[in-house]
A and B are shown apart, each in its own frame.
Chain A
Amino acid sequence: MTNDGASPKLTYAQIDQTVLDTLRPATRPYWITIALLFLGVLLGAACWLYQIFSGIGVGGQNNPVAWGTYLINFVFWVGIAHSGTLISAILHLFRAGWRNPIARAAETMTVFAVCTAGLFPFIHLGRVWVVFYMLPYPTQRGLWPNFLSPLMFDVIAISTYLIVSSLFWYTGMLPDLATVRDRSEGLRKKIFTILSLGWTGEHEHWRHFSRTYLFFAALATPLVISVHSVVSWDFALGVVPGWHTTIFAPYFVAGAIHSGLAMVLTLMIPLRKIFHYEKIITLSVLENVAKTIIFTGLIVAFAYSTEYFMAWYSHNVVELETFRWRAVGDYSLQFWIMVTCNTVIPLLFFFKKIRTTIVWLFIISLIVNIGMWFERFVIIIGSVAHDFIPHAWGLYAPTAIEFGIMLGSFCLFFFLFVLFVKHLPSVSMTEIKETAHAGENHGG
């Protein structure tokens, strides 16, 4: 890991100017994009309302596959959320300077992806109107939630993650909010005055700020590991072959970071192009993300092969049949999409030419996103569709309502993200300056 992320050629004023330019009044295409994304959100909401009034049956779930795209999307979005904190917290603790230009946008991706993910357990519920039964509130009947259930672990893990990553995101933004306040007028100045919490940039503020940021990074780091481990236990603590395995926690964490890094590339490449961030989010930053994707892809490949080894080694007929069917059965297409997109195609990043070509980076990042969605399909659908009792085997296919809600979730995520990039500083001016400073002193 090197400190070659930010270009030392930019002066502090140029850094400020590049970032502040992104906050200029938006043009018509921007508002059209916002409107279209909002329409998508409304479409998803309409599908959900229809489902609430009709019943979960408007989706494709059945017996034996009672969990469908809602939980696939839940795990998918939680996975996307992970790389943000990896980049902003873990790489901060490791002093990896290349993460500075993308840390803010990645952390924002985390917050919005957790928000999107958090909707799906609600969408999934048969009776969402009594979801408060999951809260530990005092009742006359002395009923309490079942803390043995992995779903309760989820509630705790996801809400903790959302709170910590939102606070981390906001804290890191304070000096930048003050910079925006100082350079703006009118209503915007009033709003940013409140948001920047009276930041004046005096020595004491900086001292508290850097301590707090470090402590938040240290607090957020174990959460990167814990949240997706907990999500994996939704499956690993079940008895179903294909779910019930001890490899799931590290396997899911690696997969989450794999998909999250791919989403970082998917978001950063258009961002740097549209907002002229080329001198800040340099090619070498993207290249470093690509190198990390090779690493996570290899971990995921190792996990896939370990599952097969364990199935063979167990001599358990049900386990063997599950994994045989996974590769050659009804969902073999999804399985091979998963294997190819997640483990084979990212290996192309071994070629320097490919990992330094923007078009290739973008295409491969999309492919990994698709592959990781199908990984969740293979695990969540494929395992229960073909478990213990042959008489109960069955298949599942998503319906238009499910696709509508899925489209709505993607629109919601991009809607929030597109709003963010135009209204808050999407690159951390503070951290870019730190890197630029470090580069001068230590000679890079």
Chain B
Amino acid sequence: MTPNAICTPPHDHDTYRWSMVVDLDKCIGCSACTAACYAENNIGVAGLEQVLKGREMSWLRVERYLDSDYPEKTTFLPMLCQHCDNAPCEAVCPVYAPHHSKEGLNNQIYNRCIGTRFCSQNCPYKVRRFNWFTWETPSPLNLQLNPDVTARSKGVMEKCSFCIQRIKFAHGIAKDENRPVRDGEIQPACLQSCPTGALIFGNLMDPGSRVRKLAADPRAYQVLGYLNTKPAVIYLKKVLPEI
């Protein structure tokens, strides 16, 4: 896959196009990313009963794929919002609650959302999470809520934001120092907690960035790329041990 195929989006990006590379060879399926995401983004804890009903709120899940030819081998695939350039969720919302930023982020505007759930139904990756209730954070758990992230209430859709609060923070520092955001300066929570460095985050518009170089890797692919959603999350294929 040429970097051009990934870097040429239909939207005009202004200096930045945030992207994440997931190296499936390095993912060991430990789910630290999921836990970090819960803590960073004030994600509701639905509880056993609701999770069994299919209402888990995690923005990032680790999918497991077993190969019947290699029963000892499991492929883990961390699945999060793909921040598509051609996002199926954006077109179907009647009130523009999913908003496409000029930096390529698919932002969910919570206080604009009226809860039609059309975005979730139209998301081929099924990474959007709806607040079926207002989830409780009984004391003392309320003390660990992240003040930089909005708490959501019942009836709105939410999903991975690429830790936009950290992106904005890095932007602030870069602006103070009168320079662009440096490669590697932004660490989303999942990436920060990954023990094997399977996740890489950066700016696809920067020809020197790690994500840009890895996007040119022969192992690079996008999940369901044939749908032409143009995801910003690029996976590096797991090389199976049949050699």
Chain B CB within 8 A of A424 CB: no
Interface centre among B54, B113, B115, B125 (most CB of A within 10 A): B54
Which residue from B61, B77, B94, B131 sits with its C-beta under 8 Å from A152? Answer: B94
Chain B CB within 8 A of A387 CB: yes
Nearest chain B CB to A416's CB is how many angstroms away? 27
Write out, one digit per residue, whether chain A residues 380-391 have a CB within 8 A of any chain B CB (1) or not (0).
000010011101
The residues of B that contact A126 with a CB separation of less than 8 Å are 113-117, 130-131, 154-157
Nearest chain B CB to A118's CB is how many angstroms away? 15
Known contacts A61-B132, A63-B120; is-contact A387 B126 (Cβ 8 Å): yes
| Interchain CA distance A64-B53 in the complex, whole Å | 10
Interface centre among A127, A145, A234, A388 (most CB of B within 10 A): A127
Q: Is the CB of B114 within 8 A of A63?
A: no
Q: Taking CB as reference atom, which chain B residue is nearest A66?
A: B117
The residues of B that contact A124 with a CB separation of less than 8 Å are 116
Task: Give the bracket for the number of chain A residues in contact with chain B.
Answer: 35 or more
Q: Is the CB of B121 within 8 A of A125?
A: no
Q: Is the CB of B131 within 8 A of A55?
A: yes
The residues of B that contact A143 with a CB separation of less than 8 Å are 95-96, 112
Chain A CB within 8 A of B227 CB: yes
Chain B CB within 8 A of A148 CB: yes
Q: Is the CB of B154 within 8 A of A56?
A: yes
Chain A CB within 8 A of B79 CB: yes
Q: Is the CB of B124 within 8 A of A388?
A: yes
Chain A CB within 8 A of B129 CB: yes
Nearest chain A CB to B125's CB is how many angstroms away? 6
Chain A CB within 8 A of B134 CB: yes
Main secondary structure of the interface of A (DSSP, over half): loop
The residues of A that contact B227 with a CB separation of less than 8 Å are 239
Nearest chain B CB to A295's CB is how many angstroms away? 33
The residues of A that contact B50 with a CB separation of less than 8 Å are 57
The residues of A that contact B114 with a CB separation of less than 8 Å are 125-128, 130-131, 133-134
User: How many residues on the B side are at the interface (Cβ–Cβ under 8 A)?
Assistant: 46
Nearest chain A CB to B85's CB is how many angstroms away? 15
The residues of A that contact B120 with a CB separation of less than 8 Å are 63-64, 66
Main secondary structure of the interface of B (DSSP, over half): loop
Chain A CB within 8 A of B55 CB: yes
Known contacts A238-B122, A389-B63, A391-B63; is-contact A55 B116 (Cβ 8 Å): no
The residues of B that contact A288 with a CB separation of less than 8 Å are none
Chain B CB within 8 A of A54 CB: yes
| Interchain CA distance A56-B114 in the complex, whole Å | 12
The residues of A that contact B113 with a CB separation of less than 8 Å are 126-127
Please report which residues of chain B, range 135-193, place their CB below 8 angstroms from some CB of chain A when the two chains form the complex: 154-157
Chain B CB within 8 A of A157 CB: no
Q: Is the CB of A389 within 8 A of B124?
A: yes
Q: Is the CB of A133 within 8 A of B63?
A: no
Known contacts A55-B132, A391-B79, A394-B54; is-contact A151 B121 (Cβ 8 Å): no
| Interchain CA distance A61-B129 in the complex, whole Å | 12
Q: Is the CB of B116 within 8 A of A151?
A: yes
Which residue from B77, B92, B126, B224 sits with its C-beta under 8 Å from A149? Answer: B92
Q: Is the CB of A54 within 8 A of B124?
A: no
Please report which residues of chain B, range 90-134, place their CB below 8 angstroms from some CB of chain A when the two chains form the complex: 91-96, 112-118, 120-122, 124-126, 128-134
Known contacts A134-B95, A146-B94, A150-B92; is-contact A384 B54 (Cβ 8 Å): no
Chain A CB within 8 A of B9 CB: no
Q: Is the CB of B54 within 8 A of A146?
A: no
Q: Is the CB of B132 within 8 A of A239?
A: no
Q: Is the CB of B155 within 8 A of A125?
A: yes
The residues of B that contact A388 with a CB separation of less than 8 Å are 124-126, 224
Could you jot down 8 A-B contacts, CB within 8 Å?
Answer: A57-B50, A66-B121, A124-B116, A125-B116, A126-B114, A126-B130, A155-B94, A387-B126
Question: What 5 A-B pairs have minimum CB-CB distances, sorted nearest first?
Answer: A126-B115, A57-B132, A126-B155, A62-B54, A392-B126
Using a CB–CB cutoff of 8 Å, the interface residues on chain B facing chain A are 50, 53-56, 61, 63-65, 77, 79, 88, 91-96, 112-118, 120-122, 124-126, 128-134, 154-157, 223-224, 227, 229
With contacts A63-B54, A66-B120, A126-B157 known, what are 4 further pairs, Cβ within 8 A? A55-B155, A126-B130, A127-B154, A134-B94
